[in-house]
């Protein structure tokens, strides 16, 4: 009887342990991708109303005749967003002496070429630099620090964006990450597998302004989170049951 109870108890314990869902191994770019090269699939962002841009103008025009000199004088003690130029609801920016210039719908490179062409009538050999200042994205879900993050770079990829949010938690599902992207007022949800060896070729490898990255949780998150407590509780219950049965067996044997 005792050996039978021990056998049953051992079977229950072993069965419970093996039924526990193991932590899934999730590895970025495994050894099969070593030495592999990728072609960037990068589409330039198109400016839209509400964006804040920095416009720098340089020319050979003497300073006293250069109406645009102030555009290039940046005070680094001031928040860059406060020193930028807002694209109005009509898609234009207002330039000194020139007036409104529509740049909505253009890439920063196209915008600076358009402005440079216009300024040729005002300045001697002008050159223009246009940079987007209001580039921000959000990360929610299974990351250490959910939130909205601004950057002053021209581009950032999804791995860098997740890293900015403190990285993924132990309960994150690397294979079902989503990117909510808005183009021309239309928002679309796209799936991204961070473990895909072809990730750098994805249209969503590089983050665009206003993207929202959503990191799903693993299906067994709640079980894994409480696994230690569950194991302790079940083992305690099994031990109590075995002790009780053994006690009853001893009494009946007497």
Contact 102, 46 (CB under 8 A): no
3-state helix, strand, coil in the chain (%, to 5): 35, 25, 45
Distance CA 219, CA 225 (A): 11
pLDDT band for position 155 (cuts 50, 70, 90): confident
Q: Is the pLDDT of residue 19 over 60?
A: no
pLDDT in tens, 61-79: 786 556 666 665 555 455 5
In the CATH scheme, what architecture does the domain 52-132 have?
2-Layer Sandwich (3.30)
**Residue 16: CB atoms within 10 Å:** 14
Position 169 pLDDT exceeds 70 = yes
Which residues are CB-neighbours of 145 under 8 A, at least 6 positions away?
A: 139, 165, 166
Q: What is the overall mean pLDDT for the chain?
A: 78
**Radius of gyration (Cα) for the chain, nearest Å?**
30
Mean pLDDT of 107-131: 92
Which is more confident, 34 or 93? 93
Between residues 144 and 220, which one has the greater pLDDT? 144
Q: Is the dihedral of CA 207, 205, 144, 186 positive or negative?
A: positive
Own/partner pairs, 165-172, CB within 8 angstroms, 24+ separation: 165/139, 165/213, 167/143, 168/142, 168/143, 168/144, 168/215, 169/142, 169/143, 169/144, 170/23, 171/142, 171/217, 171/218, 171/221, 171/224, 171/225, 172/141, 172/142, 172/143, 172/215, 172/216, 172/217, 172/218
The predicted pLDDT at position 152 comes to: 74
Residues with Cβ within 8 Å of 180's Cβ and at least 6 positions away in sequence, in order, are 187, 188, 189, 190, 211, 212, 213, 214
Q: If you average pLDDT over residues 20-24, what whole number do you get?
A: 49
Is the pLDDT at 218 greater than 80, yes or no? yes
pLDDT for the residue numbered 76: 46
Residue 233 confidence class, pLDDT cut points 50, 70, 90 = low
**How much is the pLDDT for 35?**
56
State residue 64's pLDDT score. 59
Fold for 136-215, please state it: Outer membrane lipoprotein wza fold like (3.10.560)
Specify the higher pLDDT residue, 140 or 1. 140
């Amino acid at each position: 009887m005792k050996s039978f109870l021990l056998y049953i108890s051992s079977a229950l314990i072993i069965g419970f342990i093996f039924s526990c869902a193991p932590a899934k191994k999730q590895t970025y770019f495994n050894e099969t991708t070593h030495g592999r090269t990728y072609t960037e699939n990068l589409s330039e962002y198109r400016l839209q109303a509400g964006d804040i841009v920095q416009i720098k103008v340089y020319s050979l025009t003497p300073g006293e005749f250069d109406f645009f000199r102030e555009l290039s004088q940046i005070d680094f003690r001031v928040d860059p967003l406060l020193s930028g130029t807002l694209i109005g609801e009509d898609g234009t920016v207002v330039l000194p002496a020139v007036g409104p210039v529509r740049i909505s719908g253009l890439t920063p490179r196209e915008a600076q070429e358009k402005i440079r062409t216009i300024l040729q009538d005002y300045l001697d050999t002008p050159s223009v630099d246009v940079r987007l200042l209001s580039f921000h994205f959000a990360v929610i879900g299974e990351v250490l620090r959910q939130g909205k993050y601004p950057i002053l770079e021209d581009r950032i990829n999804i791995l860098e964006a997740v890293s900015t949010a403190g990285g993924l938690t132990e309960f994150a599902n690397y294979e079902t990450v989503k990117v909510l992207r808005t183009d021309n007022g239309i928002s679309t949800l796209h799936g991204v597998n961070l473990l895909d060896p072809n990730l750098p070729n994805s249209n969503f490898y590089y983050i665009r302004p206003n993207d929202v990255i959503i990191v799903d949780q693993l299906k067994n998150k709640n079980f894994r989170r409480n696994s230690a407590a569950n194991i302790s509780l079940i083992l305690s219950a099994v031990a109590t049951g075995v002790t009780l049965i053994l006690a009853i067996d001893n009494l009946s044997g007497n």
